[in-house]
Amino acid sequence: MFYFESSVFFCQVDSFRAFKDYQKNGRCVRLLAVPEYQFSQSSVESELGVQVISIEVSYWEFYRLAYGNGRVPAKSVRDKIDILDEDVEERSKWYRLEVDWNAPHRHGYAYPTFGDDEPRFFELLSCSAAIEKLSLAPAPLVENKLLVVGERPEGVMFNNNESNWTLSAFHVGQGMCSIVSNGNEAILLDVGAGTPVTRGLYQKNKIDNDLAKVIEGVAFIDIVLSHADQDHWRILAWDANLRKKIRHIFVPEGAKSLAFKDPSIRMDIKEVNRLTFSLSAGSRIEVYRSKPSRNDDNGHCLISTFENKGKKALIAGDYVYDRFRTDANSDVKALVNEEFDAVVVPHHGDDESAFGIFKARDGAVAFFSAGDHKGFGHPTATSRDNHILANYREICDNLCGDIKVVELI
């Protein structure tokens, strides 16, 4: 178990509506944190980075102390706060948490985000909006980059499958993870997971893990994160073997997460506004930075398309179809008129993803990446039905407790 010197942490919310990976998967607020003694611009932005701590604390205790003046607020109040985890300003807000590591009550737990340490449990003593302010600096920006994947490290030898690129998606519970690979090299388009796939099950090898099998023979990996929510990158934190293979982690221009400051990945993070992976003749990935009409966390994202041998797929993270129509990036807006052989259904198949569905080519598939999150209820029946009506064949298994791969094109 990791030993924490501090009992006071400064935290930012990842989700008000999460479920614990431990403690019987109860409802929680999920935060990223640094200890009090490291809460300074010089520490967080140092070249060495700062170890980032994951905290999952009882939803009820957090609300009682942070918003209820000692009593749990009414549901009408909580409902308004719950949806703030998509608010850009709320995501930049800091909270001060004080805990007791030795008390008998267990309101939550903490562990180093990038590592395999067991969680350490605590009683939450206090929780409030922090008076102190700290702004996260951006990562280096790579503008309009053409990345030829064949430009591999010196001395790395591959077999003769370099032109055989495929797109596969993984059932990862309430998360998203897709991979473009030829067996030697790979690009992960998000690498997240969520309930019923949890950290403890993953790290103790208690689930069947197709992702680990797929990347076993891969020499190096580039990652494109659609946005900074943990359900789109948590496997990166759980899997040390995966991190050893990383060459670059591309995030949207302007994306900020305390996780990006951790030394495990800090030097790999690059912001992009436009990116092309040239894979082989007829195979490419195009990545576009959205310019959303609504200022929210899901809207500031990277949208990817994969083309191979005349087939085309859309991987858009949580950016639902109708938002393309009002996007100020002309490249993003133009995708409305495209036809697709595969889509990873945006935002886990929520209600909004049921409308404005892009045109399907013959034999097209719609992959729903969702879990058993009791609050979200993804995917919705409306989204599933409407994708079928739009001539997509659905692939959906939101109760899958393993990480299972499905080839899309």
* DSSP assignments along 345-360, one per residue: -GGGG-GGGGSSPPEE
Residues 296, 83, 73, 380, Cα dihedral to 10°: 180
Q: In what order do the strands lie in the sheet with 274-280?
A: 145-148, 274-280, 283-289, 302-308, 311-315, 339-344, 359-368, 393-396
Q: Which residues contact 42 (CB under 8 A, 6 or more apart)?
A: none
pTM: 0.94
Give the position of tokens 């409305």: 336
The distance of Cα 134 from the centroid of its chain, to the nearest Å, equals 23
Distance CA 369, CA 404 (A): 11
Report how far apart, in Å, the C-alpha atoms of 85 and of each of 128, 173, 258 are. Answer: 16, 20, 15
What is the pLDDT at residue 118?
96
* pLDDT band, residue 155 (cuts 50/70/90): very low
Name the class of domain 141-407. alpha beta
* pLDDT band, residue 319 (cuts 50/70/90): very high
The distance of Cα 246 from the centroid of its chain, to the nearest Å, equals 16
Give the position of tokens 């129509």: 325
185-191 and 220-224 beta bridge pairing = parallel
What is the pLDDT at residue 1?
59
Q: Which residues contact 130 (CB under 8 A, 6 or more apart)?
A: 10, 93, 94, 95, 96
144 vs 41, higher pLDDT: 41
Q: What share of the chain is helix, strand, coil (3-state, %, to 5)?
A: 25, 35, 40
What is the pLDDT at residue 191?
98
Write out 268-321 in H/E/C secondary structure. HEEEECEEEEEEECCEEEEEEECCCCCCECCCCCEEEEEEECCEEEEECCCCCH
* pLDDT band, residue 363 (cuts 50/70/90): very high
**What sign has the CA pseudo-torsion 32, 38, 41, 47?**
negative
What stretch of H or E contains 235? helix 234-238
Distance CA 342, CA 325 (A): 19
What value does the mean pLDDT take over residues 52-65? 97
For the chain, give the percent of residues with pLDDT over 70. 96
The answer, yes or no, to whether the previous bond of 119 is cis (omega within 30 of 0) is no
The answer, yes or no, to whether the previous bond of 112 is cis (omega within 30 of 0) is no
**Bridge partners (DSSP) listed for residue 173:** none
What is the pLDDT at residue 158?
41
* pLDDT band, residue 154 (cuts 50/70/90): very low
Give the position of tokens 């899997």: 239
Q: In what order do the strands lie in the sheet with 246-252?
A: 141-142, 269-272, 246-252, 220-224, 185-191, 177-181, 166-171, 404-407
What is the pLDDT at residue 146?
78
Which of the 8 DSSP states describes residue 131?
S
What is the pLDDT at residue 157?
41
- Asked if 232 and 190 touch (Cβ cutoff 8 Å), the reply is yes
What value does the mean pLDDT take over residues 20-41? 94
CB atoms within 10 A of CB 320: 23
Q: Which of helix, strand or coil describes residue 266?
A: helix
Domain boundaries in the chain?
A: 8-129, 141-407
